[in-house]
């Protein structure tokens, strides 16, 4: 099986590639990445010379390049995306290009060449929920530019299935955490700031709730969908592990033997969704998937990884941490 993975230098894409090459030697993987925000070539440095892996520098909006690569593969797994809400609020333009135009470029080619596509989406398309958990049938309600572009991409994917019978599947996942996550996100940001005894700025009162899943469990779900998922379907992926931000931060500080005095509450960001939650009964029942790593185990593994891999993140944050404080 020949796979084209887009955005493979990113957090989830790199973990997926590493896991697949380690456990399934029959797969050949090409990774196309534009090396933009969130990408880190160090994520895959250990497999640079692997016989079943090849890297191609390029943008998923480059039609001719994507056509060449897609013609050489069986399935495209589209991880490539601009994904940080704060950046989308400051400037939505790159999100429109990568998340909508890029998805359309892939869709058009896989349809004409009769290939398969898995679109990696997010729980943020459903917006903030009160008490319920979103199913695959829940109405979209994105409330920030990032989420809106991901919802738009999903609508494009669904339209190609309905109109052209394209071989497409959508996956949506809750908040991931684990090794190799770009330091702008909540958990690695907290670890790195605490490691340097710097203030940890938290939006509002820190009571915003997310459902957290260890990245390896997410990768297992994607592989299951790759091999067993049904074309035209979407699958929610969640760990049913809802925790508010302040609890996450305090847990990390405890694991690192750091004082909670490092916490600093700051003005909330515009349109900050209070709670995300998804029901993942469909993938559990239809594809027999389940999580394997509980949060206590996963967060300890994550803290240990960042503290043991300072060379991985040192250059990324050298300037950022000493300029505008990161907010959570």
Task: Look at the alpha carbons of 8, 9, 15, 18 in this order and tell me if their dihedral is positive or negative.
Answer: positive
Would residue 146 show up in a list of annotated catalytic residues for this protein?
yes
Catalytic residue of the set 59, 108, 124, 217 = 124
Catalytic residue of the set 108, 123, 216, 273 = 123
Would residue 123 show up in a list of annotated catalytic residues for this protein?
yes
Under DSSP, is residue 132 helix (H, G, I), strand (E, B) or coil?
A: coil
Catalytic residue of the set 9, 27, 146, 306 = 146
pLDDT, one tens digit per residue, over 207-254 is 999 999 999 999 999 999 999 999 999 999 999 999 999 999 999 999
pLDDT, one tens digit per residue, over 146-181 is 999 999 999 999 999 999 999 999 999 999 999 999
Would residue 268 show up in a list of annotated catalytic residues for this protein?
no
Neighbours of 147 (CB within 10 A): 26
- Walk me through the domains of the chain, giving residue ranges and CATH numbers: 2-176+213-237 (3.40.50.720), 182-210+241-274+294-322 (3.90.25.10)
DSSP 266: E
Please say whether the beta carbons of 283 and 225 come within 8 A.
yes
Report pLDDT for 324. Answer: 47
């Amino acid at each position: 099986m020949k796979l084209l993975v887009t955005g493979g230098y990113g957090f989830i894409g790199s973990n997926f590639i590493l896991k697949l090459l380690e456990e399934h030697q029959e797969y050949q993987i090409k990774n196309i990445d534009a090396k933009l925000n969130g990408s880190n070539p160090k994520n895959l440095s250990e497999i640079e010379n692997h016989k079943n892996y090849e890297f191609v520098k390029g943008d998923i909006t480059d039609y001719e390049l994507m056509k060449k690569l897609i013609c050489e593969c069986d399935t495209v797994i589209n991880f490539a995306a601009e994904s940080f809400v704060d950046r989308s609020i400051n400037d939505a333009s790159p999100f429109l290009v990568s998340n909508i135009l890029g998805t359309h470029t892939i869709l058009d080619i896989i349809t004409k060449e009769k290939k398969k596509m898995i679109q990696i989406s997010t729980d943020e398309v459903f917006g903030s929920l009160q008490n319920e958990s979103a199913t695959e049938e829940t109405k979209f309600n994105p409330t920030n530019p990032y989420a809106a572009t991901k919802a738009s991409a999903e609508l494009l994917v669904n339209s190609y299935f309905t109109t052209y019978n394209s071989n497409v599947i959508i996956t949506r996942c809750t908040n991931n955490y684990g090794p190799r996550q770009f330091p702008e996100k909540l958990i690695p940001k907290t670890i790195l700031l605490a490691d340097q005894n710097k203030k940890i700025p938290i939006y509002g009162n820190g009571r915003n709730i997310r459902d957290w899943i260890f990245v390896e469990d997410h990768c297992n779900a994607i592989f299951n969908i790759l091999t067993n998922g049904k074309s035209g379907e979407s699958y929610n992926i969640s760990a049913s592990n809802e925790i508010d931000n302040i609890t996450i931060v305090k847990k990390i500080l405890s694991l690192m033997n750091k004082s909670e005095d490092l916490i600093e509450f700051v003005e909330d960001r515009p349109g900050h969704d209070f709670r995300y939650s998804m029901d993942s009964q469909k993938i559990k029942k239809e594809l027999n998937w389940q999580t394997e790593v509980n949060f206590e185990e996963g967060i300890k593994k994550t803290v240990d990884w960042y503290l043991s891999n300072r060379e991985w993140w040192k250059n990324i944050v050298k300037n950022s941490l000493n300029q505008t404080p990161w907010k959570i």
